[in-house]
Amino acid sequence: MKVNTVRFGEIEVEENRIFDFVLPIIGFNTHKKFVILDPNKETLFKWLQSIEDPSLAFPVISVSSLDYDYTIDLNDDVVEDLVIKNVESVLVMNITSIPQDNPHGTTINLLAPLIFNIENQKAGQIVLSGSGYDISYPMFKKV
Which residues form the domain of 74?
2-138
Neighbours of 94 (CB within 10 A): 26
d(CA 96, CA 122): 21
pTM of the model: 0.93
d(CA 94, CA 87): 18
**Structural domain total, the chain:** 1
CATH classification of the domain holding 23? 2.30.290.10
Per the prediction, the chain carries an average pLDDT of 94
Looking at the predicted structure, is the pLDDT value of residue 16 above 60?
yes
Neighbours of 68 (CB within 10 A): 13
Looking at the predicted structure, is the pLDDT value of residue 84 above 90?
yes
pLDDT of 141 reads 76
User: Residue 124: which residues within 8 A CB-CB, separation 6 or more?
Assistant: 21, 22, 23, 24, 78, 81, 82, 114, 115
d(CA 86, CA 136): 30
The band of 28, judged by pLDDT with boundaries at 50, 70 and 90, is: very high
Inside any domain, residue 19: yes
Looking at the predicted structure, is the pLDDT value of residue 142 above 70?
no
pLDDT of 41 reads 80
The mean per-residue pLDDT over the stretch 87-109 comes to 94
pLDDT of 31 reads 97
Inside any domain, residue 34: yes
The band of 59, judged by pLDDT with boundaries at 50, 70 and 90, is: very high
Inside any domain, residue 80: yes
pLDDT of 15 reads 93
The band of 40, judged by pLDDT with boundaries at 50, 70 and 90, is: confident
d(CA 66, CA 107): 13
* CA count, 13 A, side-chain hemisphere, 139: 23
Inside any domain, residue 73: yes
Inside any domain, residue 15: yes
pLDDT of 123 reads 98
The band of 80, judged by pLDDT with boundaries at 50, 70 and 90, is: very high
